[in-house]
Amino acid sequence: MFGPEDVWQFMIGGYQVCEKWLKDRRGRTLSYDDVEHYKKICVALGETIRLMADKRLEIFE
pLDDT at 23: 97
The overall pTM is greater than 0.85: no
Burial class (CB in 10 A: 0-12, 13-18, 19+), 41: middle
SS3 45: helix
Instruction: Encode pLDDT of 2-59 as tens digits.
Output: 689 999 999 999 999 999 999 999 999 999 999 999 999 999 999 999 999 887 666 5
- Residue with more model confidence, 61 or 56: 56
pLDDT at 59: 59
Beta strands in 1-61 (DSSP E): 11-12, 15-16
- Which ranges of 12-31 would DSSP assign to H, the alpha helix? 17-23
Give the whole-angstrom CA distance, residue 57 versus residue 61. Answer: 6
pLDDT at 26: 97
- Domains of the chain: which residue ranges? 4-60
